[in-house]
Amino acid sequence: MSDTLASTYAIDFGTSNTVIARWNPATQQAETVKLPTLSQVLPNNPPVIPSLVYVEDARSPKILLGQTVRDRGLDIAQDSRFFRNFKRGIGSGMTGFLPELDGCPVTLEQVGQWYLHHLIRQLQDQDPSLRSLTVTVPVDSFESYRHWLGQVCQTVDLEQVRLLDEPTAAALGYGLGDRSTMLVIDAGGGTLDLAVVKLETPQTGDRKPLGFLLKWGSKNLAETSSQRPQLARVLAKSGQNLGGADIDDWLAAHFAETQGLPISSLTLRLVERLKIQLSSQEQASEVYFNDETLESYELNLDRDRFRQILEQHHFFERLDDALNQVLRQARRQGLEPGDIDAVLLVGGTARIPALRDWVIDQFSAEKVQSDRPFEAIAHGALQLSQGLEVKDFLYHSYGIRYWDRRANAHGWHPLISQGQPYPMPVPVELLLGASQDNQPSIELVIGELGNETSRTEVFFDGDRLVTRQTSGNQPMVQALNDTEQARRLANLDPPGYPGSDRIRLLFQVDGDRQLRVTVEDLLTNKILINNRAVVQLS
């Protein structure tokens, strides 16, 4: 099949809902895809697929997902076979009980893989011409999540897969051609992402794609487009693990405290309905029936009380922190808040009136756009297959692990700062000495340094998956290559001794976000490693 007949799709894989979009070559427009039995269709809303999984048999495996789970009432039972919010735990350290189903241990990475594989297979059955796929990712995701996502995509029969930051995709999805500098606030089920994105037309001849984060295949499908590409320049971005799932937990805890309701899958579903109702009306109510005690409770909530609950959990303070961070980055690029042409609200949580009021307090109401909260990301991601170029920068900082003799523990020496554009024009130089007598080799373990403000704790409470925000004074660090090979990267001959610099390292990030290293032995003047790729950065 020729590339001109191949279909291109995008998947916005969310914590609460997933949206799939397809590029229609006849209309030259993006359109949202509905999958039979899996998609939820509500009045005045596009079709979305609930990010829910029920494992009927882990050995086969045989799973149910999406709207099918809700239609069968499997999302309200206390059952270890039911998974919601599983995306938040992918790539995160887990504590507590992990279920074993049908004699098989089940991880959240496995659940996520089953979910995406099932969606892609059904898409391929529905459209055999599917060849190109773009999958969006939160800006605050660690490399482990991106690596997992890349591995999942490489196991499906596709010629080309790309990854794109969700806020960048949202800016493209709104398509505000007359307003080129946009602040995207993506408030979804699991993450809060902010980004300042500037759309511009590159100079003639400047067609090299800078932002394809993942791709393979024999041919670049985007190069078949005759259109002059548009450039999406990411000027600033910030993110937090904060979303609708947290708000549902806060509401469930509120009714547990005020009315004695147990926190369960059923009560979480009911408070989610209350939250959705309050997006379009001043008051909301639901009825809870306890089938054990035969008691019923009426759950009532209005917008004022909802806002108070958000304030109690410092929701708006965290919004302030995220906004201040992204605006500080923008100022370093010479951009002031008044230079922002439009503020785009994306994600189901962005429909909360109190959040919209907060945005209007920061910017004029005329700049705020919120009419495409569900579709903008998936539709915008399709632009990568239509000749778009993305110029991006590294979101996280990175460091090299070293042995701290005073603390008698490993520490991390900063290496590459957050916000570093790539490819790097000038390498970073580092001199290292041996840490022990007769040292036979050097270690090069690279860590991804997260924010110090908060972290996400993922654990099981009985049969219920819980994600909780905790504060901390120490930065989150995730080692990217803590392997035997990295711990013995280059041999020292003769062996090293403490007291003087022994090796010179040059680090550089290439256009594909690969961290490359050159290692020179200062004693022998030999190049031990020459421009070797050691880890993938995000």
- Tell me the per-residue pLDDT of 481-525, one tens digit each, with 9 for 90 and over: 778 777 777 889 999 888 888 888 898 888 777 889 999 999 999
- Predicted confidence at residue 467, as pLDDT, reads 57
Residue 421 in this model has a pLDDT that exceeds 80? no
* pLDDT, tens digit, 9 for 90 and up, residues 436-459: 888 888 888 888 876 544 455 555
Mean per-residue pLDDT over the chain, rounded:
82
Residue 224 in this model has a pLDDT that exceeds 80? no
- Predicted confidence at residue 38, as pLDDT, reads 96
Residue 256 in this model has a pLDDT that exceeds 90? yes
Residue 217 in this model has a pLDDT that exceeds 50? no
* pLDDT, tens digit, 9 for 90 and up, residues 391-416: 555 656 788 887 776 777 788 887 88
228 falls in which pLDDT band (50, 70, 90)? very low
Residue 315 in this model has a pLDDT that exceeds 80? yes
Strand partners, 391: 233
- Predicted confidence at residue 295, as pLDDT, reads 78
Residue 154 in this model has a pLDDT that exceeds 80? no
- Predicted confidence at residue 64, as pLDDT, reads 96
Which distant-in-sequence residues (6+ apart) come within 8 Å of 451 by Cβ? Answer: 140, 240, 475, 476
Residue 308 in this model has a pLDDT that exceeds 80? yes
- pLDDT top residue among 466 and 521: 521
Q: What is the mean pLDDT of residues 418-432?
A: 78
Q: How far apart are CA 4 and CA 205, in angstroms?
A: 23
Instruction: Pick the range with the lowest mean pLDDT from 384-388, 411-415, 430-434.
Output: 384-388
Counts for the chain of helices (H) and strands (E), in that order: 11, 32
- Predicted confidence at residue 464, as pLDDT, reads 57
Residue 88's nearest CA partner among 190, 9, 217 is 190
Residue 461 in this model has a pLDDT that exceeds 60? no
Of the segments 46-60, 292-306, 416-430, which one has the largest average pLDDT value?
Answer: 46-60
93 falls in which pLDDT band (50, 70, 90)? low
- Predicted confidence at residue 233, as pLDDT, reads 76
- Predicted confidence at residue 204, as pLDDT, reads 45
- Predicted confidence at residue 250, as pLDDT, reads 96
Give the CA radius of gyration of the chain: 24
Q: What is the largest CA-CA distance in the chain?
A: 81
Residue 12's nearest CA partner among 58, 57, 49, 61 is 49
- Predicted confidence at residue 435, as pLDDT, reads 78
Residue 382 in this model has a pLDDT that exceeds 50? yes
Please give the backbone phi and psi of residue 268, each rounded to the nearest 5 degrees, phi first. -65, -35
Q: Which uninterrupted H or E stretch holds 71?
A: helix 67-71
4 falls in which pLDDT band (50, 70, 90)? very low
- Predicted confidence at residue 389, as pLDDT, reads 55
- pLDDT above 90: percentage of residues in the chain: 38
* pLDDT, tens digit, 9 for 90 and up, residues 99-134: 789 998 888 899 999 999 999 999 999 999 888 888
- pLDDT top residue among 300 and 4: 300
97 falls in which pLDDT band (50, 70, 90)? low
Tell me the CA distances in angstroms from 370 to 137, 185, 357, 380, 400, one per residue in order. 20, 10, 12, 15, 42
279 falls in which pLDDT band (50, 70, 90)? very high
Helix (H, G, I), strand (E, B) or coil at 258: helix
Residue 17 in this model has a pLDDT that exceeds 90? yes
Is the Cβ–Cβ distance between 120 and 114 less than 8 Å?
no
| pTM passes above 0.75 | no
- Predicted confidence at residue 340, as pLDDT, reads 93
465 falls in which pLDDT band (50, 70, 90)? low
Of the segments 94-98, 136-140, 181-185, which one has the largest average pLDDT value?
Answer: 181-185
Helix (H, G, I), strand (E, B) or coil at 491: strand
Strand partners, 237: 195
Q: What is the mean pLDDT of residues 306-321?
A: 96
- pLDDT above 70: percentage of residues in the chain: 81
Concatenate the DSSP letters of all residues of 79-137 into one string.
-TTEEESGGGGTTS-EEE---EETTEE--HHHHHHHHHHHHHHHHHHH-TTEEEEEEEE
Q: What is the mean pLDDT of residues 161-190?
A: 82
Tell me the CA distances in angstroms from 309 to 98, 319, 471, one per residue in order. 31, 15, 19
- Predicted confidence at residue 48, as pLDDT, reads 96
- Predicted confidence at residue 491, as pLDDT, reads 86
- Predicted confidence at residue 339, as pLDDT, reads 92
